[in-house]
Amino acid sequence: MRSRTLTILFALTAILLFAFMIQQATGVFSFKELSGVTQEQAKPELSFDNLRGGRYQTEAENYLQQHYGFREPLTRLYNQSLWTVFRYSKVVEDQRIAITDDNWIFETPTIEEYYQSRSYHIANDASEVANKFEEEAQRLRQIQAILEPYGTHVFVALLPGKEQVCAEHMPKNTQFFEEKKITAFDFYSKRLKELGVNHINFGEWFIQQKGHTDYPLFPQTGAHWSILAAMHSTDSLIRYMEHLSDSNMINITIGAPFKRTMRPDADVENLMNLIWPLRKAPNYLAEANTDHDTTAWRPRLLTIGDSFYWNIAHFTPVDDIFTKAPYWYYFSSVYFDGPESKVIEKDLLKEVLMSDFVMLSYSTVGLYQMSNTFSSRILHEIYYDEDETGPVDFDSIPNKRSKKFLRYIELKQHNALE
């Protein structure tokens, strides 16, 4: 009897071991991928030198940690057991997120913004931070003044932050508290208005709307504004663009909200890679359609901004409203403009002049890197030719224009800029 039991145990162990090897080699079972960003480990190259120096062993161990069979379900099982028993999560320990007792999740940058310590990532001195913001605001003023006569309307969309709208749920007594300094949102809200820079302030609007909507403005376990909030904000953006250009554009109609759980509403929670979702309030979705106005103008929109724009791009009928609407994610990657590419591959000046609207779309956290160098780069292309250099203070050369700019303007005036 004992021998039979040992034989069965041995057979089960062998089957289990081979199952891991078979799954790793064939991927016969498919599982939902783990959330988060990891650095992909290359498969190690077996050689005598690598073996002798110990490099192969180290690289093989790192590779197997990412590619062993049944990695996804086992990782989720491990994470779930730690969370259920000890309320422990690695992403919390690494200070990437914080979870309150009522299951509200906030990313670390959002917490830093709430405690007004985000500016320390730029400089320790508040006046130095303010100077950097001022330089950016002045560049935007110049760009607007130069491009508007040629039919390109540049404007800033000041998007809200979760810490603004859901302040009552923010974690207390955190390690992120420092002496209160300057915030980018407060600075730009005031300064853009003083300089006459085109902008729409969604932060103020969201605070006013709090408690008066039949849908959450921010999801409990997500980082970005809710899908419905993004939809209604798109309606406001269209009306603002109509105001800027004195035109009639296609508008959107938003249906009645219905309960729906979608990945964007729990994007931060997904980083925990649990089996069962956290208990949270329901999120909502609605159908967004256009008003089919055949007389309306369909302009070209170029959006440069942070990840808040994704909920607009994915859940509103952007293609029905604009003839083209490329998205330059953090002024780096290009989406919705043919195959995915990089901004550096684009003719920056031509793309801007071909656009009817250029929207700089940043949330409270993203505003610390407003435009991601777009403003300085486009001004250089407007003022200087490729073989020229010049001062940073463009006010000293207000009438200078590059040959490229003048050539493109002439083409645009003849409707030949393509």
Model confidence pLDDT, tens digit, residues 128-143:
999 999 999 999 999 9
Q: Please tell me the number of Cα atoms within 13 Å of 315 on its side-chain side.
A: 26
Kindly state the percentage of the chain with pLDDT values over 70. 84
Q: Does a structural domain hold residue 17?
A: no
- Strand-pair category, 153-158 with 199-201: parallel
List the one residue out of 324, 301, 309 whose CA is nearest residue 230. 309
Higher model confidence: residue 333 or residue 3? 333
Confidence tier at 307 by pLDDT (50, 70, 90): very high
12 bridge partner residues: none
Q: Measured between alpha carbons, how far is residue 93 from residues 38, 170, 171, 399 in Å? A: 17, 17, 15, 55
Kindly state the percentage of the chain with pLDDT values over 90. 52
Say how far apart CA 160 and CA 224 lie, in whole Å. 9
The 10 Å Cβ neighbour count of residue 99 is 20
Residue 345: both structure tokens together: 């591959």
Residue 257 has pLDDT above 60, yes or no: yes
Q: Could you tell me if 226 and 215 are in contact, meaning their C-beta atoms sit under 8 angstroms apart?
A: yes
Q: Measured between alpha carbons, how far is residue 218 from residues 207, 237, 267 in Å? A: 12, 19, 12
Contacts of 124 (CB under 8 A, 6+ apart): none
Where b means 16+ CB within 10 Å and e means fewer, 267-282 reads bbbbbbbbeeeeebee
Domains identified in the chain, total number: 1
Residue 375 has pLDDT above 60, yes or no: yes
| pLDDT for residue 102 | 87
284 bridge partner residues: 259
Q: Does a structural domain hold residue 72?
A: no
Residue 399: both structure tokens together: 């009438």
Predicted model pTM: 0.87
Q: Does a structural domain hold residue 35?
A: no
| pLDDT for residue 23 | 58
Residue 206: both structure tokens together: 């969201």
Q: Does a structural domain hold residue 366?
A: yes
Per-residue pLDDT averaged across 32-40, rounded? 69
Q: Does a structural domain hold residue 327?
A: yes
Confidence tier at 51 by pLDDT (50, 70, 90): low
3-state secondary structure of 267: coil
| pLDDT for residue 104 | 93
Q: Does a structural domain hold residue 150?
A: yes
| pLDDT for residue 65 | 63
- Strand-pair category, 327-329 with 284-285: unpaired
Higher model confidence: residue 27 or residue 184? 184
Q: Crossing angle of helices 184-195/202-209, nearest 10°?
A: 120
pLDDT digit string (tens) for 214-224?
899 999 999 99
Range of the domain at 316: 105-413
Q: Does a structural domain hold residue 3?
A: no
| pLDDT for residue 9 | 75
Q: Does a structural domain hold residue 270?
A: yes
Contacts of 81 (CB under 8 A, 6+ apart): none
| pLDDT for residue 94 | 81
Residue 246: both structure tokens together: 């004195």
| pLDDT for residue 259 | 84
User: What is the radius of gyration, based on Cα positions, of the chain?
Assistant: 26
